[in-house]
């Protein structure tokens, strides 16, 4: 089971014992028989729960449970058996708003005397109990809801109450109270309560208690309009958003979401024609979820409109089971970064709200993985983020993604889509957990060849960096890459998806803060081509290759530009060293490694430029630290993978004894290192200094000579100066070792060859020195004879074929028509002849 529930409120254990303690002993039996009349009516923003029960004398009582203090409190008692529709209490617990239906018997008795309204809405002073004020007496049902101040503000000086009528309008009452006597609170001017009209002609309404927002839909001629009103602590409210919808709603009556719960009405109600809910998150995501009443004998279709992205996705699921009881509606749960779509007994679908473009970021579960224990009712609300209210039983749960189940699902998954979705889910929800990170690395090491549509090392590194760095600043998530995939064309068995372009919301306020600021940022990214904002490695790759060329290295090696690049690399390594105080098991960071330091410094420079173009309001020092942390964590993740491999195979801290053959464990480590190198090359990511030396060293121990040389020729192994020097020093000149040295030496880059050629007393090194000497002399000769005509060329012919070939080769590098080999008289021909003869003898194995 991927989703785990934890009970926050259980009526039978949190309320019933208290009620029994308040009931006289003679009435206990009667109360126990009627304890099933305990119903939860509402959950307030501070988490307090309002409930009702029937007293022993037929009274209707209202109570309040405080989950923080685990205490119950009796609020009010009606001396009648009432059907309470809605109830709310203000933050100071001085006022109680109640809406109830008067009984049919009472209507018949009073009908001859005076007309009796079906629904009565009261405002009651309860601390202490004083006056009762009638707010509404109408035939349509009324919902009541007090506004609450935001958590970090002082309480309202006044109380503000929303009245939502089935006659399709919403009003706000302003209630000012005064203290007449100690502990006696009285409503000031109860007969003239100021009120505002908030909305008219609506056909659907949803209350967001946490953020104090009202979403509602009004019908228009062409299509319905979704609107949002934001309430503020200073008693003001604004219409902040409008968006046209493609969803058709039947205008049969006002539908309520998160305005408490009416048990009696829910029992009589037929399956709803359309379940519609809005979910928002702190990241600025804004989703509208909708589903027709499901028919378990057919397919189930539901839609999620990602209003912050400008498109909607409609999913159709082919149900496999027909033996499961009929449910009224599909449940939608708000898990902040995910929207959960749950049909008990059939499926659980987690949709990533931040990156909904690729289906492979969605977890679609069936069978045992899709079960949610303790949650079987179809009357489910999600009043808060990561909270579930099972309205029929009255139980309230917090819901979270179970880490153990997620890792188990990752290990057992057979589909790339499931693996990728589980990997991102783990990094998103349980990030910064060292134990989970090591479990993922262990999974990667076991499944390198099992994934076909993505590279697990690339995805782990890029996704880990993204989810770790994005909390740094609000816009950073738009600028950093979150995946190594450019597209994904796979399918998820059992589900089909259709994507449609929809209209973007229009914000009606300026200089908005909090959620609205992030939503506006998301909308701006959609308008101005969001994919182009993400950092990519194309420029970095081109610049790195350019600087690696010999001409560029000589030209810019001492410039200020190059000094800054290597200074960047030095800062990265210092930053990384500050994080890791423990000694590493893998022998890395023990050499300079010019190429990797160059790539490190370039990545810092390129990423810094990218962020500064788009984060103009962030100070430079902050951006510098973000970039250093990003590149440092990148190297740290690679080191963590290496450390996990070394521990898994119980390798020594230094295995570069080149005179011995490697074990099966070392060969496995070599394979993983090769995949790390492949992943880094594909994304142009820097590697820790010393990685290539270690990689070649393990390769020398594990691979046959021809395979080793083949890997070098094809770029799967990169020769380094440290590796070449260790190879020449540690191995003696046996026939087998000489072949190895010769194969390595002839493949060394020229810059490294110059430094290590004198370490090996062998004809090959003499040949190398001779060729360099001849090249140097001929370069000088070419400069002197640049103006000599071609006709003056001196024909030199020696009866020694290798020397003839060498002279011809050297002549070919001269500028056509300008250079002459006349200077061959100045060459030490005897030395060259001996070197060429030795090379010929060696190659012909004579």
Mean pLDDT value across the chain: 82
- Say if 69 falls within a structural domain: no
Starting at the edge strand found earlier in the chain, the sheet holding 213-218 runs: 255-257, 204-208, 213-218, 225-231, 237-244, 506-507
The residue out of 709, 735, 757 marking a domain boundary is: 757
Work out the average pLDDT over 306-323.
Answer: 87
Interval 582-591: pLDDT, tens? 778 888 888 8
Q: Is the dihedral of CA 833, 835, 836, 840 positive or negative?
A: positive
Dihedral angle computed from the Cα positions of residues 344, 339, 425 and 378, in that order, rounded to the nearest 10 degrees: -20
Residue with tokens 């979705």: 421
Residue 393's pLDDT is 84
**Same-domain pairing of 767 and 693:** no
Work out the average pLDDT over 698-723.
Answer: 89
H/E segment holding residue 573: helix 560-579
**Residue 642: helix, strand or coil by DSSP?**
helix
Can you tell me the distance from the alpha carbon of 377 to that of 379, in angstroms, rounded to the nearest whole number?
A: 5
**Same-domain pairing of 481 and 610:** no
The residue out of 512, 530, 548 marking a domain boundary is: 530
**Same-domain pairing of 749 and 772:** no
- Say if 320 falls within a structural domain: yes
**Same-domain pairing of 591 and 728:** yes
Q: Give residue 479's region: left, alpha or beta (phi > 0; psi -120 to 50).
A: alpha
Among 383-392, 453-462, 629-638, 657-666, where is mean pLDDT lowest? 657-666
Can you tell me the distance from the alpha carbon of 327 to that of 315, in angstroms, rounded to the nearest whole number?
A: 19
Can you tell me the distance from the alpha carbon of 468 to that of 629, in angstroms, rounded to the nearest whole number?
A: 10
**Same-domain pairing of 574 and 488:** no
Please tell me the total count of domains within the chain: 3
- Say if 473 falls within a structural domain: yes
Range of the domain at 788: 763-843
Better-scored residue on pLDDT, 804 or 552: 804
Interval 694-707: pLDDT, tens? 999 899 888 998 99
Better-scored residue on pLDDT, 639 or 102: 639
Task: Evaluate whether 690 touches 587 at the Cβ level (below 8 Å).
Answer: yes
**Same-domain pairing of 744 and 768:** no
Residue 475's pLDDT is 80
Residue 108's pLDDT is 44
Q: What is the DSSP letter of 102?
A: P
Among 307-321, 329-343, 754-768, where is mean pLDDT lowest? 754-768
Interval 448-466: pLDDT, tens? 888 888 999 999 999 999 9
Residue with tokens 């035939």: 139
Q: How far is CA 687 from CA 182, 568, 597, 633, 676, in A?
A: 72, 15, 9, 12, 9
**Same-domain pairing of 726 and 772:** no
DSSP string of 281-323, one letter each residue: -TTS-EEEEEEEPP-TTS-EEEEEEETTTTEEEEEEE----SS
Tokens (6 digits) for 411 = 């290990």
Tokens (6 digits) for 244 = 């046209």
pLDDT at 207 over 70: yes
* Residue 409's pLDDT band (cuts 50, 70, 90): very high
Residue 751's pLDDT is 67
Residue 792's pLDDT is 45
**Strand 255-257 versus strand 204-208 pairing type:** parallel
pLDDT at 822 over 60: no
- Say if 56 falls within a structural domain: no
Q: Is the dihedral of CA 702, 704, 709, 714 positive or negative?
A: negative
- Say if 802 falls within a structural domain: yes
Is the bond preceding residue 497 a cis peptide, omega within 30 degrees?
Answer: no
Q: How far is CA 316 from CA 250, 300, 645, in A?
A: 22, 6, 42
Residue 558's pLDDT is 61
Q: Is the dihedral of CA 679, 681, 686, 689 positive or negative?
A: positive
Residue 26's pLDDT is 46
**Same-domain pairing of 500 and 553:** no
Better-scored residue on pLDDT, 638 or 547: 638
Question: How many Cβ atoms from other residues are within 10 Å of residue 132's Cβ?
Answer: 14
Interval 792-818: pLDDT, tens? 444 445 455 555 656 665 566 554 544
> Half-sphere exposure of residue 204, counting CA atoms within 13 Å on the CB side?
24
End-to-end CA distance of the chain: 72
| Residue % of the chain over a pLDDT of 70 | 78
- Say if 837 falls within a structural domain: yes
- Say if 506 falls within a structural domain: yes
Residue 769's pLDDT is 56
Altogether, the residues listed in the chain come to a count of: 846
Among 96-105, 118-127, 349-358, 728-737, where is mean pLDDT lowest? 728-737
**Residue 479: helix, strand or coil by DSSP?**
coil
Among 454-463, 495-504, 781-790, where is mean pLDDT lowest? 781-790
**Same-domain pairing of 730 and 769:** no
pLDDT at 197 over 90: yes
Q: Which residues contact 329 (CB under 8 A, 6 or more apart)?
A: 271, 272, 275, 291, 293, 294, 378
pLDDT at 231 over 50: yes
| 323 burial via Cβ count (<10 Å: 0-12, 13-18, 19+) | exposed
- Maximal C-alpha separation, the chain: 137
Residue 744's pLDDT is 79
**Strand 274-280 versus strand 286-292 pairing type:** antiparallel
pLDDT at 605 over 90: yes
**Same-domain pairing of 556 and 670:** yes
Residue 469's pLDDT is 87
Among 215-224, 441-450, 593-602, 723-732, where is mean pLDDT lowest? 723-732
- Say if 471 falls within a structural domain: yes
Identify which of 163-172, 385-394, 718-727 has the greatest average pLDDT: 163-172
Better-scored residue on pLDDT, 772 or 163: 163
**Same-domain pairing of 506 and 567:** no
Work out the average pLDDT over 179-190.
Answer: 75
Residue 632's pLDDT is 95
Among 692-696, 758-762, 784-788, where is mean pLDDT lowest? 784-788
Identify which of 61-75, 257-271, 356-370, 516-530 has the greatest average pLDDT: 61-75
Residue 776's pLDDT is 59
Interval 54-104: pLDDT, tens? 887 778 999 999 999 999 999 999 988 889 999 999 988 989 999 998 765
Can you tell me the distance from the alpha carbon of 43 to that of 394, in angstroms, rounded to the nearest whole number?
A: 11
CA-based angle 243:244:246, to the nearest 5? 130
* Residue 290's pLDDT band (cuts 50, 70, 90): very high
**Same-domain pairing of 517 and 586:** no
Work out the average pLDDT over 596-617.
Answer: 92
User: 633: closest CA among 575, 592, 581?
Assistant: 575
pLDDT at 145 over 70: yes
The residue out of 483, 501, 530 marking a domain boundary is: 530
Residue 758's pLDDT is 60
What b/e string do you get for 677-708 counting C-beta neighbours within 10 Å, with b at 16 or more? Answer: bbbbeebbbbbbbbbbbbbbbbbbbbbeeeeb
pLDDT at 170 over 90: yes
Residue 222's pLDDT is 79
**Residue 649: helix, strand or coil by DSSP?**
coil
H-only helix segments in 649-720: 664-683, 691-702, 705-713
Residue 802's pLDDT is 56
């Amino acid at each position: 089971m991927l989703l785990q529930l934890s009970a926050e409120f259980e009526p039978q254990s949190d309320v019933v014992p208290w009620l029994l303690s308040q009931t006289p002993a003679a009435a206990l039996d009667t109360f126990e028989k009627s304890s099933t009349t305990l119903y939860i009516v509402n959950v307030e923003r501070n988490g307090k729960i309002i409930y009702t029960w029937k007293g022993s004398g037929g009274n209707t009582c209202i109570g309040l449970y405080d989950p923080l203090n685990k205490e119950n409190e009796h609020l009010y008692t009606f001396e009648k058996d009432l059907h309470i529709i809605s109830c709310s209490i203000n933050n100071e617990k001085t006022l109680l708003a109640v809406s109830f239906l008067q009984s049919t018997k009472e209507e018949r008795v009073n009908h001859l005397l005076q007309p009796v309204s079906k629904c009565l809405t009261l405002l009651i002073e309860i601390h202490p109990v004083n006056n009762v004020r009638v707010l509404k007496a109408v035939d349509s049902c009324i919902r009541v809801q007090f506004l609450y101040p935001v958590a970090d503000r002082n309480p309202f000086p006044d109380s503000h109450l929303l009245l939502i009528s089935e006659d399709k309008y919403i009003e706000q009452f302003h209630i000012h109270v005064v203290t007449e006597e100690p502990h006696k609170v009285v409503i000031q001017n109860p007969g003239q309560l100021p009120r505002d009209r908030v909305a008219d002609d609506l056909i659907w309404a949803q209350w967001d208690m946490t953020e104090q927002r009202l979403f509602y839909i009004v019908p228009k001629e062409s299509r319905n309009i979704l609107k949002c009103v934001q309430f503020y602590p200073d008693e003001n409210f604004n219409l902040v958003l409008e968006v046209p919808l493609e969803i058709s709603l039947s205008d049969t009556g006002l539908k309520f979401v998160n305005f408490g719960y009416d048990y009696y009405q829910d029992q009589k109600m037929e399956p709803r024609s359309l379940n519609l809910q809005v979910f928002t998150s702190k990241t600025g995501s804004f989703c509208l979820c909708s589903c027709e009443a499901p028919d378990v004998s057919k397919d189930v279709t539901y839609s999620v409109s990602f209003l912050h992205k400008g498109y909607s996705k409609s999913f159709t699921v082919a149900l496999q089971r027909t033996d499961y009881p009929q449910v009224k509606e599909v449940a939608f749960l708000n898990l902040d970064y995910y929207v959960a779509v749950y049909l008990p007994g059939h499926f659980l679908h987690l949709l990533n709200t931040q990156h909904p473009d690729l289906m492979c970021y969605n977890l679609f579960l069936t069978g045992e993985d899709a079960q949610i224990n303790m949650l079987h009712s179809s009357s489910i609300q999600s009043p808060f983020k990561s909270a579930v209210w099972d309205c029929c039983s009255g139980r309230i749960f917090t819901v979270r993604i179970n880490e153990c189940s997620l890792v188990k699902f990752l290990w057992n998954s057979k589909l790339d889509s499931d693996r990728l979705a589980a990997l991102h889910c783990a990094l998103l929800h349980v990030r910064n957990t060292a134990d989970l990170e090591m479990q993922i690395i262990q999974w990667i090491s076991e499944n390198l060849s099992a994934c076909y549509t993505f590279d697990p090392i690339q995805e782990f590194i890029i996704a880990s960096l993204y989810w770790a760095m994005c909390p740094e600043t609000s816009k950073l998530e738009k600028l950093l890459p979150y995946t190594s995939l450019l597209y994904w064309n796979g399918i998820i068995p059992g589900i089909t998806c259709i994507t449609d372009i929809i209209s973007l919301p229009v914000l009606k306020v300026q200089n908005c803060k909090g959620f609205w600021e992030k939503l506006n940022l998301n909308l701006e990214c959609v308008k101005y081509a969001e994919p182009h904002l993400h950092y990519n490695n194309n420029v970095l790759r081109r610049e790195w290759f350019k600087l690696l060329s010999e001409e560029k290295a000589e030209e810019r090696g001492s410039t200020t530009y190059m000094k800054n690049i290597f200074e960047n690399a030095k800062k990265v390594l210092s930053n990384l060293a500050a994080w890791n105080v423990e000694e590493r098991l893998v022998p890395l960071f023990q050499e300079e490694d010019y190429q990797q330091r160059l790539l490190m410094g370039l990545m810092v420079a390129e990423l810094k430029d990218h962020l500064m173009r788009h984060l103009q309001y962030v100070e430079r020092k902050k951006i510098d630290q973000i970039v250093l942390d990003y590149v440092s964590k990148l190297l740290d993740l690679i080191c963590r993978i290496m450390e996990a491999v070394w521990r898994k195979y119980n390798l020594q801290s230094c295995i570069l004894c080149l005179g011995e053959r490697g074990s099966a464990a070392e060969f496995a480590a070599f394979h993983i290192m090769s995949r790390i190198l492949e992943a880094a090359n594909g994304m142009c990511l820097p590697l820790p200094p010393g990685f290539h030396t270690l990689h070649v060293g393990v390769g020398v121990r594990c691979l046959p000579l021809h395979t080793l040389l083949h890997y070098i020729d094809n770029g799967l192994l990169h020769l380094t100066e440290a590796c070449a020097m260790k190879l020449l020093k540690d191995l003696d000149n046996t026939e087998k070792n000489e072949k190895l040295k010769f194969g390595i030496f002839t493949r060394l880059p020229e810059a490294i060859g110059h430094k290590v050629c004198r370490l090996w007393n062998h004809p090959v090194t003499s040949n190398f020195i001779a060729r360099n000497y001849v090249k140097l002399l001929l370069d000088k000769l070419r400069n002197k004879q640049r103006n000599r005509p071609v006709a003056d060329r001196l024909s030199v012919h020696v009866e020694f074929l290798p020397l003839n070939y060498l002279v011809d080769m050297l002549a070919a590098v001269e500028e056509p028509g300008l250079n002459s080999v006349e200077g061959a008289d100045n060459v030490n021909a005897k030395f060259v002849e001996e070197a060429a003869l030795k090379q010929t003898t060696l190659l012909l194995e004579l």
